[in-house]
Amino acid sequence: MTTRSNEQTTLPPNEPLAEAGLVPVITIDSADDAGSLAAALTQGGISYAEITFRTPAAAQAIERMRSEAPRMTVGAGTVLTVEQADRAVRSGAQYVVSPAFDARVVDWCEEHAVPIIPGVATPTEVNAARHRGLRTLKLFPAEQLGGVALLQALRGPFPEIQFVPTGGITRRNLGNYARQPNVVACGGSWIASKEAISARKFDDIVAAAKDACTIVSQARRQRSRAR
Ligand code: 3PG
């Protein structure tokens, strides 16, 4: 494995990510809903979104969200191939997230100076990503893999790695994740579910976003007091 010299290009937009503390994972059926969704998230206090390549509308939804909500940071999620990464970036995605660690996707992102947050599930994958200069990784599927206990165990050997745990996070366990010193942000679909978006329940999304922001703020206050 090659160790890359220019680590900067593979770093995700860490500052806005840390500021947001939350990454709504979006599965959207109609790009027409992208603008209203962005407005609901923003009203709820979240200006960060990950639109997954799980529906044919994904690329267009990214494009619409970027043009209708220019202050949002919009990433592409569930990016499994170089072709999807290319399409996402051409549609305006500002960063790329994958549920897995795929060297081809990481290479492509690095070559195109696109921030990438690959998914990892084991210490071996964390170390492979670390060797590539990546310091922010998606832990997926977090809850199923061991959740907070796994994050705490990974902190010993990988103190410099910041995680975005995703998978199985809801308002019930969010605080516990957000309190972990090696968690930069928590991801999940509960804030803006596919069903809520399709039913255009944007008030529910505003409420879920506000609730999540409150939980993360409280958790972060507790985290800084514990330091
Ligand atoms: C993802 O792609 O990150 C997950 O599907 C989100 O997991 P969740 O639906 O359990 O929040």
Q: What distance in Å separates the CA atoms of residue 112 and residue 88, rounded to the nearest whole number?
A: 12
Q: Is 189 in the pocket of ligand 1 (CB under 6 A)?
A: yes
How many CB atoms are closer than 10 A to CB 50?
27
| pLDDT tens digit sequence for 194-206 | 999 999 999 999 9
Give the Cα separation of 164 and 67 in Å (integer): 26
- The residue whose CB lies within 8 Å of the most ligand 1 atoms, and thus the one to mutate among 25, 80, 171, is 25
Say which DSSP state 157 is in. T
Does the active-site annotation cover 63? Answer: no
Q: pTM for the complete prediction?
A: 0.93
Query: Is residue 170 within 8 Å of residue 8, measured between CB atoms?
Result: no
Assess whether pLDDT exceeds 50 at residue 3: no
The residue assigned the tokens 């930069």 is 184
pLDDT tens digits, one per residue of 87-141: 999 999 999 999 999 999 999 999 999 999 999 999 999 999 999 999 999 999 9
At 13, is the pLDDT very low, low, confident or very high (cuts 50, 70, 90)?
low
What number of other Cβ atoms are within 10 A of residue 140's Cβ? 23
Domains of the chain, start order: 19-117+169-226 (3.20.20.70)
Dihedral sign, Cα of residue 79, residue 100, residue 26, residue 136: negative
CA–CA gap between residue 161 and residue 137 (Å, rounded): 7
Query: Residue 21 has which token pair?
Result: 């503390």
